[in-house]
Structure 1
Amino acid sequence: MFERFTADARGVVAGAVEHASRAGSPVVTEEHLLLALLDREDTRAGAALASLGLTSRRAEITEALAAARRRGGMSKADEDALAGLGIAVEEIVTRVEEVHGPGALSGAEPGKAWPSGRPAFTKGSKKVLEKSLRLAVARKRKSIGDEHVLLALVVLPGLVGEVLAGLGGTYGEVEQALAP
């Protein structure tokens, strides 16, 4: 499949590996793919992210991802819904962290680096890359561009898609921003 990636899409994958390595992570996650996309400027995905105002909100995106990881992957909407039932998620997270340490609910996907020491891809990041192939094929494209990786991130369920949607990067908005 990787041979079908354009130079821009390969750059995103390589950038995600760099982000994971710099963070000391043994695995490449969907978040690393998003960070690599946010680094891109002169690509279709980079232009779409910039036109949606997401590139300039990188700090806000990383904070929202970290907060959601701390809540065990729970979205802000889920937290608000539970608050309506009288359940204070922040109190629960704080108590769990007191007993088990900071980030105990982060649900970090266990993983092992490749024997070469390079980070391996998580199931979620592999799904994103597979979905990008399906999106390219559905659009009758012979190659997979970084725009397909971006679309896969926003269409698949998960933290990255929820955070982007909350900041104006829904599938429909991204698709519209990518329209020629």
Structure 2
Amino acid sequence: MFERFSRHARIAVVVAQEEARELHADEIRPEHLLLGVLDSAGGDLAAVLSGHGLTAESVRTQLSGDFDADAAALQSIGIDLHAVRDIADRSFGAGAFDRALRGGRRPRRRHLPFVKPAKKALELALREAVAHHDRVIGAEHLLLGVLRGGDPVALDLVATHVAPQRLRADVSALLAKAA
């Protein structure tokens, strides 16, 4: 199926794997595919996404909320976790704080598997391309597959910026315009 992916869609899948690693996940989930699309979207799709305020940076911020929640809790007792992270990184090298959280080892570059909902999103991307009479699966189709897959985490990330139905309609209109 990947031979039918456009350049942007292939990049989105590769970026999804990198995002999963950066977020210390053991598998690629739909939210990582969403991040991959946001990072790799070109031209008109990027304009639609940014028009809704849906950017890779905003989604990354939402996904890293656990660190911020911990930082806020520790701040209430006078500990600045952001300052602790900065000092550790300055003293022991960039990423030292995060490596310590993972047991001190550098992340292995092994292949990360796709979870079932992410596989379903890829399958639905193919169906979206067929439904739009497109020969190539683009980043737009991949985004539509993520939306259609209904993963609650991915949909919540999108819904913070725009109603998923609205985004789906806008991306479908973009595909219809391109046809």
Alpha-carbon distance, 1:4 to partner: 0.7
Alignment partner of 1:172 out of 145, 155, 166: 166
Cα distance between partner residues in 1 of 2:54 and 2:24 = 25
Alignment partner of 1:131 out of 124, 127, 131: 124
Aligned to 2:101: none
Deviations 1:25-45 (A, max 9, x none): 221111111111222252443
Aligned to 1:20: 20
Instruction: From the superposition, tell whether residues 21 and 163 of structure 1 become closer, same or farther in structure 2 (CA, over 3 Å).
Output: closer
Cα distance between partner residues in 2 of 1:128 and 1:11 = 16
Aligned to 1:162: 156
After TM superposition, the structure 1 stretch with the greater mean CA deviation from structure 2, 161-170 or 28-37, is 161-170
Do the aligned partners of 1:155 and 1:171 also contact (CA within 8 Å) in 2? no
Do the aligned partners of 1:19 and 1:32 also contact (CA within 8 Å) in 2? yes
Alignment partner of 1:144 out of 117, 125, 137: 137
Cα distance between partner residues in 2 of 1:52 and 1:15 = 21
Deviations 1:131-171 (A, max 9, x none): 00001001111110000111112222122123312421423
Cα distance between partner residues in 2 of 1:169 and 1:38 = 16
**Number of aligned positions between the proteins:** 131
Cα distance between partner residues in 1 of 2:29 and 2:44 = 22
Aligned with 2:9: secondary structure? helix
Consecutive unaligned residues in structure 2, runs of 5 or more: 67-108
Matches within 5 A, 1:30-179: 30-55=30-55, 58-59=57-58, 61-62=59-60, 64-65=62-63, 117-158=110-151, 159-177=153-171, 178-179=173-174
Cα distance between partner residues in 1 of 2:15 and 2:148 = 21
After TM superposition, the structure 1 stretch with the greater mean CA deviation from structure 2, 136-145 or 15-24, is 15-24
Alpha-carbon distance, 1:46 to partner: 2.4
TM-score by length of 2: 0.63
TM-score by length of 1: 0.63
Instruction: Determine which structure has the larger helix proportion and give its number.
Output: 2
Instruction: Work out which structure has the larger RCO, using CA pairs closer than 8 Å and 6 or more positions apart in sequence.
Output: 1
Alpha-carbon distance, 1:9 to partner: 0.3
Consecutive unaligned residues in structure 1, runs of 5 or more: 69-115
Deviations 1:101-142 (A, max 9, x none): xxxxxxxxxxxxxxx821111111101100000010011111
Instruction: From the superposition, tell whether residues 121 and 35 of structure 1 become closer, same or farther in structure 2 (CA, over 3 Å).
Output: same
Cα distance between partner residues in 1 of 2:41 and 2:139 = 11
RMSD of aligned C-alpha atoms?
2.4
Do the aligned partners of 2:117 and 2:149 also contact (CA within 8 Å) in 1? no
